[in-house]
Amino acid sequence: MDPVLSTKSLIKRYGRIRALDGVDLAIEPGVVGLLGPNGAGKSTLISVLLGQTPITSGEGSVLGFDVGAEQPRIRSRVGYMPENDCLIPGLTGTGYVCYAGRLAGMSFVDAMQRTHEVLDYVQLDEARYRPAQQYSAGMKQRLKLAQALVHDPDLLLLDEPTNGMDPDGRRVMLSLIIDLGKAGISVLMCSHLLPDVEKVCDRVVIMGGGQVLTSGNISDMRRPHDTLYSVDYVGNTETFCHKLRQQGISIHAQSNGTLDVELSRANQQNLILSSAQLAGTKIRGLRPQRSSLEQKFMAAIRRQENGSSPEVRSK
């Protein structure tokens, strides 16, 4: 499957600061989450992909078009939903979305017809004729999604799409994104809300310091660990912990009747059982731990912080 978006050794410098530091990406069609702390280079990457910011070196393509030379073609096939309100004063919801369609190159008739379709889709019914600046936060987010969809893009870039929304609005927005993915539109979603990303994305890319720290399928990231286990037990905690340490097993967390332990190697669960036997402890349960996206994210950021060179800094 051809990637919708790819970069090779992409570097973007602002003076001495490297906002993007050799980004290598190949994102296949689907819904992909782009994660990273503030200043990780996510916004710069989007700016580069839209052809707004010239790259310092490297290559990049979006939907098969070169980011340096074919900006208008990229922009006409990509929908962008910015994080900020960016609602033009004086325009109604309909006027705003239709304007976005006209900017994308649609005729007025096509743009207006399509405007009503996408406003129906994002569930802005009668509100569409009200000035957009009077909308609630959730309605504004849905209006921004509508303007990104009006020209029926092949790729959607969503920057914090659930920002400022209440739980119900968030649920609606996430269901819209899932539906868009099913309709064949590729989505690159930037968000700080990891549960949202876990819910809607097939894959995730984690950035930090202008680099891609890790990427992969969310299902792979949430695969059960073969060295991390949770142990439910009954007996003397001190003795049990002592015996476990003697076997080279690390103890990460300890709560009432449960220990989170890490084996030095995989498939050595019998060491836990033998430690319990030696300590006179009864094992009630032994299960492998599943890592969350948050754990993966934090681990990637920690690795980057520990290993980064001083000159590699985000913007």
Partner 1 sequence: MSQDTHRYQRWPGRHRKPSTLSGLSAIVVTGIRLQYNRRFVRPLLLAGPIAVIGICVTLYLLSMLEVLAGSPEANGLYQFASGFLGVDLSAVSQIGELRGVIWRATFALVIRIQLFAVMVLVARIGPGLISDDTKVRALSIYFAHPVNPKSYLLGKWIVAATFIASVTVIPNLLALTIGSMITGGLPGVGPILTLALNIALAGLGVMLFSGLVMLALSSMTSDSRYVTVGWLAVCLMPAMAQGIIRENIPSENITGWLGSISLMGNAAVLTEHLFDLKSGWQASGLPHDAFAKALSSPIEPFYPAMVLGSITLIAGTLCYRRIVKFSQAAAAASNLN
Residue 198 binds to partner 1 (criterion: CB under 8 A) = no
Residue 6 binds to partner 1 (criterion: CB under 8 A) = no
**Given candidates 11, 22, 56, 71, which one binds partner 1 under the rule CB under 8 A?**
71
**Given candidates 2, 24, 59, 179, which one binds partner 1 under the rule CB under 8 A?**
179
Name the residue nearer to partner 1 (CB basis): 119 or 272. 119
Name the residue nearer to partner 1 (CB basis): 74 or 244. 74
Rounded to whole angstroms, the Cα distance separating 97 from 123 reads 14
Task: Compute the least distance from the CB of residue 153 to partner 1, in Å.
Answer: 10
Residue 75 binds to partner 1 (criterion: CB under 8 A) = yes
Site string for partner 1, 25-64 (x = CB under 8 A): ------------------xx-xx--x-xxx----------
Contact 15, 39 (CB under 8 A): no
Residue 279 binds to partner 1 (criterion: CB under 8 A) = no
Task: Compute the least distance from the CB of residue 119 to partner 1, in Å.
Answer: 12
Residue 42 has which token pair? 């996510």
Contact 118, 93 (CB under 8 A): no
Rounded to whole angstroms, the Cα distance separating 200 from 177 reads 7
Q: What are phi and psi of 104, to 5 degrees?
A: -80, -5
Conformational region of residue 248, where left means phi above 0, alpha means psi within -120 to 50, and beta covers everything else:
left
Contact 7, 28 (CB under 8 A): no
**Given candidates 183, 253, 265, 270, which one binds partner 1 under the rule CB under 8 A?**
183
Beta bridge partners of 208: 211
Task: Compute the least distance from the CB of residue 84 to partner 1, in Å.
Answer: 4
**Given candidates 28, 66, 83, 202, which one binds partner 1 under the rule CB under 8 A?**
83
Per-residue three-class SS string for 46-64: HHHHCCCCCCCEEEEEECC
Residue 99 binds to partner 1 (criterion: CB under 8 A) = yes
Residue 73 binds to partner 1 (criterion: CB under 8 A) = yes
The size of the chain, in residues, is 315
Name the residue nearer to partner 1 (CB basis): 152 or 198. 152
Residue 205 binds to partner 1 (criterion: CB under 8 A) = no
Buried/exposed 13-31: b ≥16 CB within 10 Å, e otherwise: eeeeebbbbbbebebebbb
3-state secondary structure of 42: helix
Residue 313 has which token pair? 């800094």
Q: Interaction with partner 1 in 118-177: which residues (CB under 8 A)?
A: 120-121, 123, 147, 149, 151-152, 157, 159, 172, 175-176
Contact 270, 263 (CB under 8 A): no
Residue 11 binds to partner 1 (criterion: CB under 8 A) = no
Q: Which residues bind partner 1 (CB under 8 A)?
A: 43-44, 46-47, 50, 52-54, 71-73, 75-78, 80, 82-91, 95, 99-100, 102-107, 110, 114, 117, 120-121, 123, 147, 149, 151-152, 157, 159, 172, 175-176, 179-180, 182-185, 315
